[in-house]
Structure 1
Amino acid sequence: MDVLLVRPRPDRETIGLQHVMVCEPLELEYLVSNVPDGIRNRVNLEICDMILEKEPFISIVMRKKPDLIVFTGYITHVGTIKDMCAEVKRLFPNSLTGVGGVHAEVVPEDFIDPSLDFVYSRNGIDGFNITLEGMLKGMSPAEIRNNIESSGEMKLSFVYRHPDRESVRKYRSEYYYMFHRPCALIKTSYGCPYNCSFCFCKEITGGKYFTRDLKDVMDELEGIGEKEIYIVDDDFLFSKGRIREFLRLLKERGIEKKFLVYGRADFVAENKDILREFRDQGLQAVIVGLESIRGQDLDSYKKGTDIDVNERAAKVLLELGIELYATLIIPLDFSRKDFSDLTSWVRGLGIRFVNLQPLTPLPGTSIFCEYEDKLLYPRERYEMWDMAHVVLKPEHMGTRAFYLEIVKAYYRIVMRPKNVLALIRRYGLGMNLKMLSGSSRVTMQYLGKVVRGI
């Protein structure tokens, strides 16, 4: 039986972070490695990463004539995946199709479509294996769906084999995150222990949080060839005891890697000593959701931090020489003065990288219902939900002007001469030129919004 596992290329309308980062499809690698031993020799699995693949998707399908095609994607991929499935069904009506990933788990109804046979809304690895077993036994799609539905509640423990990184050998050298090249992913926990109102992460596990055994994490790290490691936990900097044990095991095993992690501002502000130890064992950068320069915004987001905490966190990372990748949400009541204040505040803290995201109430989050009647676009314009489009009407300026203020703020922060020279010294001219090329493509997409107003 031939099976294709596909990560689609984003829609052209989607403002693409893939211009500055393309990470490995970890969820598909887990599917490959966790096929039961009893059927592994009866199934031919191939991952097609269409972000990097040169051969057109339809050409691959015509050549492989797969029995099953399973897609992964976010909300921005919903329309694209449905279109790809419809094309598969047109060419090969007997081929079966499925979809998994975080959006399928939280808002599975978005994938209801005649061209999609299976939507893996929980325990995707198990659901995929049930599909394989059912197909090999000659079951109908309806029988397989019934088996998937009766397979039990969401698992809150990690009982799976490590991802099969060899399954993307042809693409591996091209996976990166900004200056971290080449870069591998690892996940050591699931869910988030916090309750921010705008966050999609906590919805994936129904608000539950659980961690992997760190010895198993070390076993996986030892098998990763890349030096740069992106730990994609929703919040790796959570438990002081767990981080210290992580560092102890790194030293005990002689593992030397460079790490990029997510972390909250309050942890960073209060734990300079732990971060210093982590830096000495490879911590290069921390992605921190500073979210806002206004206290009332932080309160409404249920962030549990304040401006002072954010400022202290930025200073700690600056003093330790750890790169800060700051994310900030831009509320729709921002005026030009607010944009100016934000720019001055960020520059004053010495922050060199920002991701400025217009407030986006993602379907599936607790704040979506508050804004559902204020959307600029139909809910079904999935390609627009990239947290870069303005999907709600700005209060103090037009949409075009709002996009332009975002672009101006970004360039005033990231492209100021002092910043550029520091980045060249740290990462080299070649790496910076690649980043400039990628960020310029994103800028052109934004400028297109300024011109067209959509």
Structure 2
Amino acid sequence: MRVLLVHPSALMYSKIFLRLEPLGLERVAAALLAAGHEVSMLDLQVEKPAAYARHLRKCRPDAVMFGVNYLANVPEVIEFAHRAKRELPDCLVVAGGHSVSFIAEHLLKQCDGALDVVARGEGEVVAPRILEADRARLADVPGAVTADGAGPTPALLPGLDEPLPARHLLAHRRRYFIGELDPCASVEFTRGCPWDCSFCSAWTFYGRSYRRLSPDAAGEELSAIREPNVFIVDDVAFIRPEHGMAIADQVERRGIRKRYYLETRSDVLLRHPEVFERWRRLGLEYMFLGMEALDADGLDLYHKRISPDENIRALEVARKIGITVAVNLIADPDWDEKQFRLVREWALSVPEIVHLTVCTPYPGTEIWHTQSRRLTTLDYRLFDIQHAVVPTRLPLDRFYRELVATQAVLNRKHLGAKALAATARIVAANLARGQTNFPRMLWKFPRVYNAGRLYAEHQHPARYRLPEPVPAAMTPRRRELYVHQPAARHPVASRERERTDP
């Protein structure tokens, strides 16, 4: 079959700080190629929406598959699905990905027949099975949800070594970047997270499982990447220190020279600093730490299972190693002017890059079940961790003024004229190589992060809306939240942080 894979447009946050290659969709593409299909890819993060119509006319696909990892992209995907059905009535139209795995039945009811199937779970497994199935029996496919019913529970990919991403299908690879790592490829060494943060749906999607790419396969993939920079997209990098060291052995043995950016937890860094020290010598430049809160109450609310002191010590360790750290804090809609001021003062007192995201209940998270009845909007487009979707203590317009004022202070700290002077050499080097992603982001902030714009977007009429929250007598058992149901529990990184399902 001729298959067109489509990644939707960039969201607000990724219009400035990063634009990542659609690694998950590239792996799905590789699985479909291995199954004998003819595959093309379209990434609307780097191409204009009009490219979609051109691809439909040019490719005349038998199937169009959308990768939907973010709820805010759902309206766009529904409209694109309708267009596919208008132009190619016999085309099989499928949506899959992280976010839609939690709202499959609702999405099918909402799209008025534009989608034939919503695929739940890992796309490398379910996508080939959907294409090989009889259309009259799609509801029998594990992970497939149709208007006629849902198939069995989706299966986990047996191992991560295959398929390797089909990176050759994307024509605009120089447009992917994260910060000054421009251009930048992405790689996945592990999948899943054994922790259970209340705002996150990674652990509910994967059934709290944790799987690893073999060191040989990791070395092979890194060797094949042409970009000089690599973002390690693992939810938590190097939980198992022996795994990180084994991949480092491969990097050294193969003479791979890259610069790296990764995400991890403070407690993982504190337990195994030697792993990160070694990777620093191999080219690790940046590290993202999701601190989320500065106080113990906030950390407990989010189930971070870490103390404020540990977070601060982790920053000190990273500084000593020589890694630049980006910190994320979650802005609680209950914050007032004093709390925003305290955050600004703290962020200006430390050398690290500090980002703010807004606490957002997503389907698949624990806080969806505890806070969704308080939602002030069901507009998909506002579920982007930049808008407030539950009541704010401050009037909403004032909340956004405080949020943007805080972001602007941090922007001036890292991206303003003084900071630009410090990065002038980096900017010049990127421009000399024809890379403009990083220089462009330095000037975009006022246009994208704008309090008036954020507030006004709440007034826009919403054609497509999230499902109405269902009142529940109690929070569901955690295993009821899982998309995947692994046969056996994988050990968490440390027993003292393990929490048994209720």
Distance across 1 between alignment mates of 2:277 and 2:193: 24
1:211-290 matched pairs, under 5 angstroms: 211-290=212-291
Contact 1:188 1:231 in 2 (8 A): yes
Equivalent residue number for residue 448 of structure 1: 453
Equivalent residue number for residue 407 of structure 1: 404
Distance across 1 between alignment mates of 2:154 and 2:406: 48
Equivalent residue number for residue 126 of structure 1: 125
Equivalent residue number for residue 18 of structure 1: 15
TM-aligned CA deviation for residue 253 of structure 1: 2.0
Identity %: 25
Distance across 2 between alignment mates of 1:187 and 1:341: 36
Distance across 2 between alignment mates of 1:56 and 1:35: 22
Contact 1:288 1:326 in 2 (8 A): yes
**TM-score, with normalisation over the residues of structure 1?**
0.90
Q: Tell me how many residue pairs correspond in the alignment.
A: 437
Contact 1:5 1:69 in 2 (8 A): yes
- The answer to whether the aligner puts 1:336 opposite 2:337 as a matched pair is yes
Contact 1:187 1:233 in 2 (8 A): yes
Q: Which residue type is aligned with residue 88 of structure 1?
A: A
1:419–1:275 CA distance, 2 compared to 1 (3 A): farther
Distance across 2 between alignment mates of 1:452 and 1:129: 38
Distance across 1 between alignment mates of 2:277 and 2:271: 12
Which runs of 5 or more structure 1 residues have no equivalent in the other structure? none
TM-aligned CA deviation for residue 183 of structure 1: 0.7
TM-aligned CA deviation for residue 453 of structure 1: 6.2
1:82–1:210 CA distance, 2 compared to 1 (3 A): same
Deviations 1:250-279 (A, max 9, x none): 212221111111111122344444322221
- The answer to whether the aligner puts 1:106 opposite 2:102 as a matched pair is yes
Distance across 2 between alignment mates of 1:238 and 1:249: 18
Contact 1:399 1:453 in 2 (8 A): no
Distance across 1 between alignment mates of 2:172 and 2:66: 17
Q: Which residue type is aligned with residue 65 of structure 1?
A: R
TM-aligned CA deviation for residue 316 of structure 1: 2.2
Distance across 1 between alignment mates of 2:137 and 2:161: 26
Contact 2:185 2:231 in 1 (8 A): yes
Equivalent residue number for residue 367 of structure 2: 367
1:421–1:319 CA distance, 2 compared to 1 (3 A): farther
TM-aligned CA deviation for residue 16 of structure 1: 4.0
Equivalent residue number for residue 52 of structure 1: 46
Equivalent residue number for residue 316 of structure 1: 317
Equivalent residue number for residue 35 of structure 1: 32
Which runs of 5 or more structure 2 residues have no equivalent in the other structure? 143-150, 460-502
Contact 2:81 2:114 in 1 (8 A): yes
Q: Which residue type is aligned with residue 95 of structure 2?
A: V
Equivalent residue number for residue 296 of structure 1: 297
Deviations 1:264-317 (A, max 9, x none): 112234444432222111101111101011210101111011211121222222
Q: What RMSD, in angstroms, separates the aligned Cα atoms of the two structures?
A: 2.3
Distance across 2 between alignment mates of 1:374 and 1:61: 41
Deviations 1:397-448 (A, max 9, x none): 111111111111122223136961574157336676322123333224x441
Contact 2:331 2:357 in 1 (8 A): yes
**TM-score, with normalisation over the residues of structure 2?**
0.81
Contact 1:20 1:438 in 2 (8 A): no
TM-aligned CA deviation for residue 126 of structure 1: 2.5
Structure 1 stretch displaced more, 180-189 or 238-247: 238-247
Distance across 2 between alignment mates of 1:403 and 1:427: 32
Work out which of the residue numbers 377, 381, 384 in structure 2 matches 1:383.
381
Work out which of the residue numbers 136, 147, 152 in structure 1 matches 2:141.
147
Contact 1:414 1:420 in 2 (8 A): no
Work out which of the residue numbers 49, 56, 59 in structure 2 matches 1:61.
56
